Amino acid sequence: MPKRYISFQGLHGAYSDLVCRKFYKDYLTLPCNSFEEAISAVENKKADVALIPVENNIAGRVADMHFLLEKINLKIVAEHYHKIEHHLMTKENINLSKIQRVFSHIHALNQCKKNIRKLNINPVNFIDTAGAAKYISEIKTTNSAAIASKLASEIYNLKIVKNNMQDSKNNITRFLVFSKKSKKIGLDKKVITSIVFNTKNLPASLYKALGGFASNSINLTRLESFFVNKDFKQFSFLVDVESHPESSNFKKALKVLNLYSTKVKMIGYFEASNFRN
């Protein structure tokens, strides 16, 4: 049986790598330098699917993902929610009381701010969490640590000196999975459909464009706006709705959306994660 690959942004040991291994045990993980590279890996057949984080309940939406979603040629085929657990790690022979600096991604540092302050450690921004763990494993200094995943500590042979450094115990990140083709899903399943659209430059166009979902009893679970050009004159909207795209109600709502939009692009549909329950 040929090997299957799932691409992600970051080094081995990144949280995306951890989530790939959790939900796609039969796949080999393929680290990439950027979200664009992870997506391109699927487009260029280096990977079968790509897993990308899109939002966190504390840090908010992931930067640049909206621009990627508008231009992407792949389809969203799944969603996964994962509880993020940050751990403080050092080399084996370093004591917690000796740590003066901690390296990690800006979001991880912000999510551990109170605990970092309690330990009187100086936070230092790093490009990503797994990269910080790798860096700590390679440097000679004995007063530095990293905040990263348990997987990163195992890969880079680091000792966890404090578990669960995050200030909030309810730290959840949502990930989307992208593929070249959509999966067939039965109409009896609970399905989320994602759409990107631009409204016409008319009064109440957004209200009217979304009215079709309301009149057809379709629930919106997500609505976000973002600029698509540098002069702030054009908005795009990203919407997630609880409906199968083949349902009659969805088709009626889509007609209304098209009526008040200059562009409508369905970027995927997928079975709703059990986390939503």
Domain co-membership, 253 together with 204: yes
Domain co-membership, 269 together with 212: yes
Full 3-state SS string of 100-160: CEEEECHHHHHHCHHHHHHCCCEEEECCCHHHHHHHHHHCCCCCEEEEECHHHHHHCCCEE
Neighbours of 163 (CB within 10 A): 11
pLDDT reported for residue 160: 96
Residue 173 annotated among the catalytic residues of the structure: yes
Domain co-membership, 58 together with 93: no
Q: Tell me if 184 is assigned to some domain.
A: no
pLDDT reported for residue 59: 74
What is the domain-level CATH number for residue 108?
Answer: 3.40.190.10
Q: How many domains does the chain have?
A: 3
Q: What angle do CA 237, 241, 246 make, to 5 degrees?
A: 115
Domain co-membership, 156 together with 137: yes
pLDDT reported for residue 232: 58
Dump pLDDT digits (tens) for 42-51.
999 999 999 9
From the candidates 175, 197, 237, 270, which is the catalytic residue? 175
Instruction: Calculate helix-pair angle for 205-215, 248-259, nearest 10 degrees.
Output: 170
Domain co-membership, 75 together with 110: no
Residue 2 has, within 13 A of its CA and on its CB side, a CA count of 5
pLDDT reported for residue 93: 76
**β-pairing, 191-199 with 235-242?**
antiparallel
Domain co-membership, 195 together with 152: no
What is the domain-level CATH number for residue 243?
Answer: 3.30.70.260
Domain co-membership, 233 together with 257: yes
Q: Specify burial of residue 165 (Cβ count, 10 A radius: 0-12, 13-18, 19+).
A: buried
Q: Tell me if 30 is assigned to some domain.
A: yes
Against a cut of 0.85, is the pTM above it?
Answer: yes
From the candidates 29, 129, 173, 199, which is the catalytic residue? 173
Structure tokens at 224: 């976000």
Q: How confident is the prediction for the chain on average, in pLDDT?
A: 92
Per the structure, the complete domain to which residue 265 belongs is given by 191-276
Residue 90 annotated among the catalytic residues of the structure: no
> In DSSP terms, which residues pair with 261 in a beta bridge?
199
Domain co-membership, 28 together with 98: no
Q: Tell me if 197 is assigned to some domain.
A: yes
10-residue mean pLDDT series, the chain (277 residues): 91 97 97 94 97 86 73 93 96 87 94 95 95 95 94 96 92 95 94 94 91 96 78 78 97 96 94 92
Domain co-membership, 197 together with 224: yes
pLDDT reported for residue 226: 77
pLDDT reported for residue 201: 83
Give, in order, the Cα–Cα distances in Å from 199 to each of 226, 232, 233. 12, 14, 12
